[in-house]
Amino acid sequence: MREERAPMVNGLDGDRASHPSDGSRFDVVDVAAQAVMVRVVGDLDLVTAPQLATHLRRRIESQPAGTAVVVDLDECGFLGSKGVAALMTAAEDAAARGCTFSVIGCRPIVLRVLDITGVRDALNVTPA
């Protein structure tokens, strides 16, 4: 699978000059014609989770049915309840659009949060 890098999007509102205050960033990678990956670098917390939610919603809305939407959390150091909610909403949006949704690269601490909240299976999670 050939990976084409899209420009880095900080703040996830499409404004490349915007930076979350904690240094988190979100890297959008179009992997193939029918797949898009969003890499999360930093924390998904009260501040950054709404930004991710907005970005994922826009990405999903712009994809045709059948697209695989993948969120890579390999470089996510913290996943708060707002981050979990953002991922669940994105999974529901993807399903409604006819897209698949999965989360990959989860560190043990992130997996623990997903297990405790009971959403690991619903998010189609693959550990790191």
Per-residue pLDDT of the chain (128 residues; tens, 9 = 90+): 434 444 333 333 333 333 445 556 766 666 667 899 999 999 999 999 999 999 999 999 999 999 999 999 999 999 999 999 999 999 999 999 999 999 999 999 999 999 999 999 999 999 87
Task: Note the helical H segments in 10-119.
Answer: 48-61, 81-97, 108-117
Question: Among all chains, which residue has been given the structure tokens 């399903």?
Answer: 95
User: Which domain does 69 fall in, by range?
Assistant: 4-127
Q: Which residue from 55, 41, 46 is spatially nearest to 84, judged by alpha carbons?
A: 46
**Token representation of residue 16:** 């490349």
- State if pTM tops 0.85: no
Q: Which residue from 25, 21, 23, 22 is spatially nearest to 10, judged by alpha carbons?
A: 25
What CATH number has the domain bearing residue 88?
A: 3.30.750.24
Q: Which residue from 59, 40, 53 is spatially nearest to 104, judged by alpha carbons?
A: 40
Domain count, the chain: 1
